[in-house]
Amino acid sequence: MSKSQTVLDHTGAGTCCAPRVQVHLPSQQPGQALCCTPLSVGPLSLEQAEQVAPLLKALADPVRLRLMSLVASREGGEACVCDLTGAFDLSQPTISHHLKVLHEAGLLDREKRGVWVYYRACANALASLGVLIGSPAS
Amino acid sequence: MSKSQTVLDHTGAGTCCAPRVQVHLPSQQPGQALCCTPLSVGPLSLEQAEQVAPLLKALADPVRLRLMSLVASREGGEACVCDLTGAFDLSQPTISHHLKVLHEAGLLDREKRGVWVYYRACANALASLGVLIGSPAS
């Protein structure tokens, strides 16, 4: 499963997770998807927690949170570095570094067009992470 | 607003946030609540991002993620350190340190009873964080 093919599976048809909701998150290892239940539904294994933590760590920075919100909420759903630097008192290489961290975590897709790289929020990854953290146990 | 009084407000009746969903997250400063829209709905301000980041940072650790899932998914919704140490190859003071980090971030409530401290997941804080990260723009 590629980074952009993260999905939510509410069918409960899978074999590795228990009740109701399966959460598939992007993995930094190609071909390997993370599978776990929301925090309030069942305990995470060590392996699952070690796969989720890097996604949260990537988001747990004020600049990267703002970058994610700027890209994810942008009309058309994508942005290049040139669209983003104006919102920060930071150099373009610094912004590019933070975007790279988000991309490597699987939270931003990117595509090179001409001289610019365009970034797009991985909506399924964000949705999955949201369910993992916030889905009620009921 | 206390740490445990975090709420989701879908009415749009508030004054500080724009469309549809307001997210109120716990703050480490008493009396101050964080207000912002989901990442895909609108850009976070620097101040908002600086309030959200510590919550994510507290969760962005495999031990703390497992602790949150163990407490949040537990029958009755609460646990003391004595219930949790068995799941880890870590000392009780280390587990207590991680629980303290989650409590100070506003993700776990705690109450002392006799010689033990009991922890309870702040369901509203987790729900709000989930909406902030995962709520779709539509």
Q: Which pLDDT score, from 0 to 100, does residue A130 have?
A: 93
> What's the whole-number average pLDDT of chain A?
81
- A20 has a chain B CB within 8 A of its CB: no
Look up the CATH number of the domain holding residue A78: 1.10.10.10
Note the pLDDT of residue A34.
Answer: 56
Min mean pLDDT across A23-27, A48-52, A113-117 is at A23-27
B134·A136 Cβ contact <8 A: no
CA A72, CA A79: separation in Å to the nearest integer? 9
> B116 with B63, same domain?
yes
- Under the phi-then-psi rule, with left for phi > 0, alpha for psi from -120 to 50, and beta for the rest, what region is A105? alpha
Tens digits of residue pLDDT in A8-29: 333 333 322 223 345 666 655 5
Helix (H, G, I), strand (E, B) or coil at B25: strand
- A8 to chain B, any CB pair closer than 8 A? The answer is no
pLDDT tens-digit map of A118-132: 999 999 899 999 999
pLDDT tens figures, B55-96:
999 999 999 999 999 999 999 889 999 999 999 999 999 999
Domain membership of residue B108 as a residue range: 59-121
Q: What is the mean pLDDT of residues A64-79?
A: 95
What band does A113 get if pLDDT is binned at 50, 70 and 90?
Answer: very high
> Pick from A43, A62, A134: which is nearest to B134 by CB?
A134
Q: Which chain A residues touch B6 with a CB distance below 8 Å?
A: none
Q: Is A42 on the interface with B (CB under 8 A)?
A: yes
Q: What DSSP assignment string belongs to A4-67?
A: GG--EE-S---SS--SS-EEEE--SSTT--EEE--TTTSPPPHHHHHHHHHHHHHH-SHHHHHH
Contacts B61 to A, Cβ<8 Å: 53
At A13 the pLDDT is: 31
* B33 and B78 share one domain: no
What pLDDT score does A16 carry? 26
**B50·A62 Cβ contact <8 A:** yes
Interface predicted TM-score (ipTM) = 0.80
Q: Global pTM?
A: 0.81
In angstroms, the CA B129 to CA A132 distance is 10
Same domain flag for A46 and A82? no
Judge if B72 and B110 occupy the same domain: yes
Q: B62 vs A43: CB contact, 8 Å cut-off? A: no
Would the CB atoms of A130 and B131 count as touching at under 8 Å? yes
- CB of A35 within 8 Å of any CB in chain B? no
Question: Cβ of A49 and B72 within 8 Å?
Answer: no
Taking 50 as the threshold, does the pLDDT of residue B98 lie above it? yes
Q: What share of chain A in percent tops pLDDT 70?
A: 74
- The confidence score (pLDDT) of residue B29 equals 54
- Residue A83 banded pLDDT, cuts 50, 70, 90: very high
Task: Please tell me the distance from the alpha carbon of residue B127 to that of residue B138, in angstroms, as a whole number.
Answer: 19
Identify from A133, A135, A138 which residue to disrupt to test chain B contact, counting B C-beta atoms within 10 A and taking the largest count. A133
Structural domain tally of chain B? 2
Q: Are residues A66 and A103 in the same domain?
A: yes
B42, B65, B87 member nearest A53 (Cβ): B65
Contacts of B47 (CB under 8 A, 6+ apart): none
* B40 shares its domain with B67: no
CA B25 – CA B130 distance, rounded (Å) = 11
Residue B36: inside a domain, yes or no? Answer: yes
Instruction: Give percent of chain A above pLDDT 90.
Output: 67
Examine residue A138 and state whether it is found in any structural domain, yes or no: no
Q: How does strand B8-9 pair with strand B22-25? A: antiparallel
Domain-embedded: residue B138: no
Query: What's the pLDDT score for residue A23?
Result: 65
